[in-house]
Amino acid sequence: MAFKKKSVPKRNAFYAQSGGVTAVINASAAGVIEACRKHSSRIGKLYAGRHGIVGALTEDLIDTSKESAAAVKALRWTPAGAFGSARYKLKTIEQDRAKYERLIEVFRAHDIGYFFYNGGNDSMDTAHKVSQIGEQMGYPVVCVGVPKTVDNDLPITDTCPGFGSVAKYVAVSTREAALDVASMARTSTKVFILEVMGRHAGWIAAAGGLAGKKPGEPPQIILFPEITFDRETFLAKVKDSVEKNGYCVVVASEGVKGADGKFLADAGTKDAFGHTQLGGAGPELARIVKEGLGYKYHWAVADYLQRAARHIASKTDVEQAYAVGRAAVELALQGRNAVMPVIVRKSSRPYRWTIGAANLADVANVEKKVPREFITADGFGITPACRRYLEPLIAGEDYPPFEGGLPKYVQLKNAPVKRKLATDFKV
């Protein structure tokens, strides 16, 4: 992608990782860093926030120029957040004005004119607000979001970097676990339940459906947040599968809700973003199966394993994550403010895509759910249209280098930047 360049003064830049990390968020970081280095005549230093936006608020910055080209390249195959991430939500400008003003104070002290925020819905909202407060305070900052979320729920973009690799991991794990269950079902486990991430959008659960291609192949049941959970309908489907196949494999989103609107896995606590803390749909479903049908069961929670699994990352996902990182810098140098690079699908078979841009105002706090036409009529599977959408996103392998039988990941120096402000800030 080539954006038209606009003349702007040379300024430093700031990059931060936000929220739950992914197998490919560091590939986006590599894209940002390498693009900034390519444009060294227009961008001075690129600083990163130690633990995301918290690092900006506390003036705990990292000098990425201390990292070798080889180390930056290795970020492409290293999972998690190389600079540290944080679940730290800034509220409205009116509610959190002191925090927004602190950000601008830090940016001003370090001559930061570009802000690249690598995250999901809440992060795009923050980046949008920072662009506004900068203008209000007479210190304009070009703010560009870098899309990232395993949930695949950002609007406008065809898919979100981070999702393709989680989708691949879940599809692979579902197929492998299903073979295990099928081989033991005669005398052992009849029902296996895999709980995956997805609070309000069932994209990851849908990906589990790629494990089987023919009717009756596992997973026999997928539970989506978009479809109201009904205990008796679920049990009838489980029983039918066990009687026909000898076993039943269930892929369940953590965000499955009942008719009362409550999460099946509501733990009664909130996370740092104010969202209901989930985790427990798997054991709750297992309890329902045990009480309702008496079948022997096993359940598993993919949890961090699904988003950390760089060893089985999707090549498509890696390439797209890197591309949006580079594109964010190009957009910033064009003078585009409060925007986010997006992935535009040109065709599915063969899969072709390019990079476009969306306004942060149209992205912030908007969740893209699985459309009803992607879910089978009974609410327990994926349609051919969904399969056509998902298959290209898990395509291709991009293995990291191995050493001693284990993936060889990079550990950055993360050299600190000397503080310039006399005041501390508590978060």
Q: What is the 3-state secondary structure (H, E, C) of the chain?
A: CCCCCCCCCCEEEEEEECCCCCCCHHHHHHHHHHHHHHCCCCEEEEEEECCCHHHHHCCCEEEHHHCCHHHHHHHHHCCCCCCCCCCCCCCCCCCCHHHHHHHHHHHHHCCEEEEEEEECHHHHHHHHHHHHHHHHCCCCCEEEEEECCCCCCCCCCCCCCCHHHHHHHHHHHHHHHHHHHHHHCCCCCCEEEEEECCCCCCHHHHHHHHHCCCCCCCCCEEECCCCCECHHHHHHHHHHHHHHHCCEEEEEECCCEECCCCECCCCCCECCCCCECCCCHHHHHHHHHHHHHCCCEEEEECHHHHHHCHHHCEHHHHHHHHHHHHHHHHHHHCCCCCEEEEEEEEEECCEEEEEEEEEHHHHCCCCCCCCHHHECCCCCCECHHHHHHHHHHHCCECCCCEECCEECCCCCCCCECCCCCCCCCCC
Mean pLDDT of 406-411: 97
What pLDDT shows up at residue 3? 52
What is residue 8's predicted lDDT score, i.e. its pLDDT? 58
Give yes or no for residue 272 having a pLDDT over 70. no
How far out from the chain centre does Cα 121 lie? 10
- Say if residue 6's pLDDT is above 80: no
Q: Between residues 10 and 313, which one has the greater pLDDT?
A: 313
Q: What is the pLDDT of residues 172-183, one digit of tens each?
A: 999 999 999 999
The domain ranges of the chain are 11-149+313-364+399-407, 163-310
Q: How many C-alpha atoms does 239 have within 13 Å on its Cβ side?
A: 12
Q: Which two three-digit tokens encode residue 65?
A: 């120029």
Quickly name the fold that domain 163-310 has. Rossmann fold (3.40.50)
Q: Tens digit of pLDDT for each residue in 304-360?
A: 999 999 999 999 999 999 999 999 999 999 999 999 999 999 999 999 999 999 999
Catalytic residue, chosen from 125, 151, 317, 398, is 151
pLDDT for residue 268:
47
Give residue 86's pLDDT band: very low, low, confident or very high (50, 70, 90): very high
- Percentage of residues of the chain with pLDDT beyond 90: 87
Q: Are the C-beta atoms of 45 and 37 separated by less than 8 Å?
A: no
Mean pLDDT of the chain: 94
Q: Write out the two tokens for 161.
A: 């970097």
Round to whole Å and give the CA distance between 249 and 195. 11
pLDDT in tens, 58-73: 999 999 999 999 999 9
**95 and 123 Cβ atoms separated by less than 8 Å:** no
Q: Is the pLDDT of residue 269 over 50?
A: no
User: Under CATH, which architecture does the 11-149+313-364+399-407 domain have?
Assistant: 3-Layer(aba) Sandwich (3.40)
Q: Does residue 122 have an active-site annotation? A: no
Q: What angle is formed at CA 404 by the lines to CA 403 and CA 406, rounded to 5 degrees?
A: 70
Residue type, 42: R
